[in-house]
Homo-oligomer: A and B are copies of this chain.
Amino acid sequence: MVKFVLDPRLEADCIRLGELELSLVLLMNNSLVPWFILVPKVEENEICLLTAEQQNTLYKEINILSEFVCDSFETDKLNIGTIGNIVNQLHVHVVGRRKDDYCWPGVVWGEKEKRPYSASEIENIRILASSIMANGKK
């Protein structure tokens, strides 16, 4: 198996928070919305190309991240998507949306506006997210 390397674009745009069983957990460096990304450590670029076991694990991880976003941030709706038109490496967005956020009711994908996190904001999210990393390792 080839060593897994995170796509450089994701590496540049996001902060690594940790790992679950199958996926890296990233935070998009845009504090305008709580925007997380799962990157399963696989070579395939579509969910339907994963094995049943990988899919089950990925879907479990989407649930973990979904519940984390709903519990940790004020959200009216989750936006979950796997797109990959620009970054081909399989990745799943889990975004908490609010009816008064910067681009509601539009989608965040393709929106140019962003506001990078401060170091202390990142640290706070890292602490919050540490609980799911532990769960994910169970």
Contacts and interface: CB of A to CB of B under 8 A. Distances in A.
B85 A82 contact: no
Given A46-B66, A67-B48, A110-B107, A80 B79 contact: no
Interface range, A side: 20 to 34
Contacts of A4: none
A48 B63 contact: yes
Interface in A93-114: 97, 104-107, 109-110
Contacts of A110: 106-107, 110
A66 B81 contact: no
A85 B81 contact: no
A17 to B, nearest CB: 19
Main secondary structure of the interface of A (DSSP, over half): mixed
A46 B78 CA distance: 7
Interface string A73-93: 000011111111110100000
Given A46-B66, A107-B109, A110-B106, A81 B79 contact: yes
17 contacts: A45-B77, A46-B70, A47-B66, A47-B80, A48-B63, A48-B67, A48-B78, A77-B83, A77-B85, A81-B81, A81-B82, A81-B107, A83-B107, A85-B97, A85-B104, A85-B107, A106-B110
User: Which 6 A/B pairs are nearest by Cβ-Cβ distance?
Assistant: A81-B81, A85-B105, A48-B66, A107-B109, A79-B83, A106-B110
